[in-house]
Each structure stands twice: as structure tokens, then as C-alpha cells.
Amino acid sequence: MGLYWWRTPAYVLMRSKAYQDPTCLNNLLKAYEDKSAFAMCIFSLALGPGEEPITFVGKTVGKIVPARGPNDFGWDPVFQPDGFEQTYAKMPKSVKN
């Protein structure tokens, strides 16, 4: 899991409370009107030694919102995908995944 913000170097963010408690992300973003965000998953698979890896990329565009739902996985309580009224944390896993 990663929480990366283009305005902050990763090594600073990883030591911050926002990395450990994503609900603090709202405090970091208070000064900014634009709360747009995206969730990205990248997975690569090589079928054997010397085989060309196959890479899959998934990207969901959304925004950072006040925390809603259980904090079972990373930033799920504060990420709301475009087109949905629920955060990832409030969605059934069958919808989220």
C-alpha cells in the first residue's frame, strides 16, 4: 500500500501521521480546493524465466473526502471514486474490486 502526494517527498510522507492514519489527509488538504485523486494498482507477471512480463494497470479517478466507513485498508475511508456516493470503505467488496 502506498500513499503518495505529489507535493510531498515520499520519505517525508511515509513518516507522517497521514501515512499511518489516512483520515489526517483531510487536514493536509484543507488549504487546497482541488481534492481530486486517483487510486492505482500495477501488477506484473512473468510466466517463467526469460519470459516477457505482462503488466496490468488499473486506475480509478476520484476525490479525497472526510472519512466514512471502517479503516480496514489504507486510505479506503477517505477515497471516493467518481460516479459513486460511497467511499471505498463503505462499498461492498464486490463493487470496489
> pLDDT (tens digit, 9 = 90+) per residue, 10-25?
545 555 555 566 667 7
Of 7 and 52, the structure prediction assigns the larger pLDDT to: 52
What pLDDT was estimated at residue 20? Answer: 61
Question: What is the dihedral sign for C-alpha 74, 80, 86, 92?
Answer: negative
Q: Starting from the edge strand earliest in sequence, which strands make up the sheet with 54-64, in order? A: 36-45, 54-64, 79-81
Joined grid coordinates for residue 34: 482541488
- What is the tens place of the pLDDT at every residue in 78-88? 999 999 999 99
DSSP for 6-64, written as a single string: TTB-HHHHHTSHHHH-GGGHHHHHTT-S--EEEEEEEEEE-SSTTPPPEEEEEEEEEEE
- Where does 10-81 sit in CATH, by number? 3.90.950.10
